[in-house]
Amino acid sequence: MTANPATSPSPPCRSVTEEEIDHLREFGWVKLKRFVDPQYLRSMLDLAREVMGEDADSNPISPVLEAAVTEGKPGLSYFNAQRSFGLAHPVLRPLIFEIGRSAKLLQRRRSADGAGVDVRYYSDFFVPKLPAAKAARHGGNGPTAYHQDFITFAVDRSGGMTFWIPLEPCGPPAGTMSFVSGSHREGVLGDYTCYGDGDALDVFPELRRLEMSEHMTYELGDITVHTHLTIHGSGPNMTDRPRWTYLLVTQPADACWNGSPCPNFDSSDMTPWQPFGGGRFPVIS
């Protein structure tokens, strides 16, 4: 019988190594092999299917997406994004806090007292990429154009990261991640909606002189981490089943809201340049 991850005494994931920390610093991304306990991933996949259905397309359509479709606009082509239960869920909470400790090491920032800058939870989602050959209520069955995440999150400083966690083994045919190595040193390169009919590689052709990683192959337990300045993308899902993935987004604990509109949180009671904090953005490191 499989133990309940919420009550299991074993940690849900290991810590990062110095070599992995160095790789992220050098290339802007890192693959962490055998990072998460497969037992946890199976429980997370069960949770995702409860919310989204076996087809990963049966969750309720959000009001924002419904309004866009009504206006004849396409939905998000990259994946079907479903907000998760975050720290409130007994399965996800231990994993989020354990990842927070590794995120602090990967962030590699020092505070005035030398202890290091803490990490905040920012958001988490189930993000299955749906099969390209099938019609999808939510969209989410196209390729992921090469882009940068930073401007999307309305933060005032870099240091944020995305932990890209497959819930099943998957490889390039399913539309897995590829990264432009070293692109995190190129600065802020705009929002993906501002690239017209192209992507970041078209708008900033100098990126093509950098090395592009392979499209990743993930065994169960493998994940990748990329900084929010790193250019990344993926192909379409050419299989006949969803590519199940979970994303956890972290930010430095001293990050502030830059005042820009943002779909990731309600800013109605916030002030520009106000630090993130409170119960919505707790420290997890």
Q: How many domains does the chain have?
A: 1
What is the 8-class DSSP label of residue 114? S
Tell me the three state secondary structure of residue 232.
strand
Q: Which residue has the tokens 């996949």?
A: 45
Name the 3-class secondary structure at 138.
Answer: coil
By residue range, what is the domain housing residue 43?
A: 18-60+72-252
**Sheet with 161-166, side-by-side order of all strands:** 29-32, 223-227, 161-166, 245-252, 119-126, 82-83
Q: What tens digit of pLDDT does each residue of 15-28 get?
A: 999 999 999 999 99
- CA dist., res. 134 & res. 136, Å (int): 6
pLDDT at 151: 95
Nearest-CA neighbor of 235 among 143, 132, 145? 143
Specify if 4 maps to a domain. no
pTM of the model: 0.93
Q: Return the bridge partners of 275, or none.
A: 256
Q: Answer whether residue 266 is part of any domain.
A: no
The two three-digit tokens of residue 149, written as one number = 């995440």
Instruction: Tell me if 219 is assigned to some domain.
Output: yes
Residue 3 in any domain: the answer is no
9 within domain boundaries: no
Does residue 22 sit within a domain? Answer: yes
In a domain, 264, yes or no: no
User: Residue 148 maps to which CATH number?
Assistant: 2.60.120.620
Tell me the per-residue pLDDT of 157-209, one tens digit each, with 9 for 90 and over: 999 999 999 999 999 999 999 999 999 999 999 998 889 989 999 999 999 99
- Greater confidence (233 vs 3) lies with 233
User: How does strand 223-227 pair with strand 29-32?
Assistant: antiparallel
CA–CA separation, 251 vs 276, rounded Å?
A: 9
SS3 of residue 49 by DSSP: helix
Instruction: Indicate whether 137 belongs to any domain.
Output: yes
